[in-house]
Amino acid sequence: MTASTQTKQRTSSDKPVKKYQYTKTRGKVALIKPCTDPVAWAARRKKEKPPPGGFPKPPSHWPKGVRVDVGRPVYWLPQGWGQGIKTTCIARLVAFVSPEGKCCYHRYRVEEMLGRKLGPDDNLGSAKEWAKTQIQAGKDWRGQQVKFDGQGKLFAQLSSRQRQHLVQSEKFHFAVISARRSGDIGGLRGIVRVESQIRACGVQPTWYVDDASVDAYRELGLKVVVGGKLVPARNKALDDAEKLEKVCVQVSDDISRWSYYVGSEELSLGLFAGNKLLAGNQAAKEADRLRISPVMAAQFILAKMRGVADGEPQPRLGGVFPLGNVGMSFGVGAIATEHFILGDFFVQDLGSKCHFDPRFSLKEDYDFTCSHLDAHGAVMRCNRMFIVAVHETNAGGACSERDDSGEKERENIRILQEKWPGVFSLNGRRGDGSTQVTMAWRRRR
């Protein structure tokens, strides 16, 4: 059957008359849409100039009529596949060649052949290209714009006095403490998540990494400085913030979410009276979870610190609930002023000279908390605010100093107990009973 060309006229009472041509072959209809951009038409047909030394020789299993594409490869192409250009096509037609030598010209055809969807998690090269693209576009790992709940819901939890101390985002120095994440797909995913959530608030964070990681991080499009290992990097971030006269916010490199729970502050709830854990679990179930930005979290914590009543100790360090157990957090007050501040996300206000002790390679945030309690008399832990981080199982990272035997943990615990007598006890409920601690500032001797 030969193709027929016809002209069809479409009319509508609310649209102008439009005429177009189409072809119909074997029951399939295709519109005839002449190219209206002669420059683009010519560019697609322009013969590509070979690189110095000529085009690379195609692998032996490639079909004839396909040369190697020397341009940027698509991020989703699986391992073992090649990207080429059809030499028998008048326009530039990209071909994806399977390990068996079969050509596909579209992503969905490759996915059909493999029986799965393709994406950045398929191989490290694809993940790096994907990470660059998302960072440049200000999007998350899924290629979507980051969205948060309105800040009004969060800031409504502040008192009128505290709301007077809310400051703009440019008053903060966001420092992401990291190292050796860019060589791992999971690490790249974490980098994009953290960067996109901070950038979504109009703030560009600074990444503090070791010397060996600088080039790899910069290739991703990040703002990077050499910070060294964990404690030197933390101290450099504090010093940089002081020079900039900004509040220092330090962030772990693998946080996927910041949340705040709005719920009942009562510790006794009906049938659960007398059982804090059950009461807390019930309160957590009934609470409204807000997805907040890291900037909103920092603003909230800072306002809490600066809004302390006159005559009370003025905290200069604030943070989030250190565990992921929301029910446990509702079993205690919304604020704690003598408790551990997690190093994964904290805010240090201007006016504090506290720094991290270089003797620590782990547990440095416990020591930092004690330094603040000793210097300022209080900290500000927001027990309804949470982060989700995976640093204990994630590859790489600035704090990847743990060893399988746990000896490094025990060594740092010994320094803690020597420096702060009576404050730290071994936590027999976690690990092997010798690598985790509980902190009680009131027991200080």
- Burial (CB count <10 Å: 0-12, 13-18, 19+), residue 218: middle
Phi and psi angles of residue 57, each rounded to the nearest 5 degrees, phi first: -75, 130
Q: What is the pLDDT of residues 232-289, one digit of tens each?
A: 999 999 999 999 999 999 999 999 999 999 987 664 444 455 677 787 888 888 889 9
Domain ranges of the chain: 39-114, 147-401
Q: Is the pLDDT of residue 404 over 80?
A: no
Which residues, listed in sequence order, are joined to residue 139 by a DSSP beta bridge? 145
Torsional sign, CA 302, 305, 307, 310: negative
Residue 287, number of CB atoms within 10 A of its CB: 18
User: What is the rounded CA–CA span in Å between residue 343 and residue 352?
Assistant: 16
pLDDT for position 102: 95
| Residues whose CB is less than 8 angstroms from the CB of residue 218 and which lie 6 or more positions away in sequence, other chains included | 224
Average pLDDT (331-336) is 89
Structural tokens at position 243: 């020079």
pLDDT at residue 347 is higher than 90: yes
Q: What is the model's pLDDT at position 297?
A: 97
Question: In this predicted structure, what is the pLDDT of residue 13?
Answer: 47
**Sequence-separated (6 or more) residues with CB below 8 Å from residue 49:** none
pLDDT digits (tens, 9 = 90+) for 181-222: 888 888 999 999 999 999 999 999 999 999 999 999 999 999
Averaged pLDDT for residues 362-390: 95
Is the pLDDT reported for residue 80 higher than 60? yes
Which tokens hold the place of 210? 């070791």
Q: How many CB atoms lie within 10 A of CB 373?
A: 24
> Contact 69/94 with Cβ under 8 angstroms?
yes
Model confidence at 10: pLDDT above 50: no
Q: Which CATH number fits domain 147-401: 4.10.260, 3.90.550, 3.40.50, 1.25.40?
A: 3.90.550
Using pLDDT thresholds of 50, 70 and 90, give the confidence band for residue 175. Answer: very high
Q: What burial class does residue 415 get, using C-beta atoms within 10 Å of its C-beta: 0-12 exposed, 13-18 middle, 19+ buried? A: middle
Measured on CA atoms in the order 265, 308, 314, 389, is the torsion positive or negative?
A: positive
Kind of pairing, strands 255-262 and 288-292? antiparallel
Under the banding of pLDDT at 50, 70 and 90, the label for residue 3 is very low
Give the span between the Cα atoms of 146 and 135, in whole angstroms: 12
Model confidence over 26-65: pLDDT tens digits? 777 777 777 778 888 787 777 778 888 889 999 999 999 9
- Report the pLDDT value the prediction gives residue 162, as an integer from 0 to 100: 96
Give the count of beta carbons closer than 10 Å to the beta carbon of residue 262: 13
The residue that leads in pLDDT, 71 or 264, is 71
- Digit-coded pLDDT (tens) for 102-149: 999 999 999 999 998 887 877 788 888 889 989 988 888 888 889 998
pLDDT value at position 403? 57
Q: What does pLDDT average to over the chain?
A: 87
d(C-alpha 158, C-alpha 309), whole Å? 13
pLDDT at 2: 45
DSSP-based three-state secondary structure for 129: helix
Q: Is the pLDDT of residue 12 over 60?
A: no
Give the pLDDT of residue 20. Answer: 65
Q: Compute how many other C-beta atoms are within 10 angstroms of the C-beta atom of residue 88.
A: 8
Structure tokens given for 135: 């960072």
**Burial degree of 296 (CB within 10 A; 0-12, 13-18, 19+):** buried
CA angle 399, 338, 321 (to 5 degrees): 50
Q: Does domain 39-114 have CATH number 1.10.10?
A: no
Structural element, H or E, at residue 354:
none
| Share above pLDDT 90 across residues of the chain, in percent, rounded to a whole number | 58
Q: Is residue 88 over pLDDT 90?
A: no
Q: Cβ of 313: how many Cβ atoms within 10 Å?
A: 13
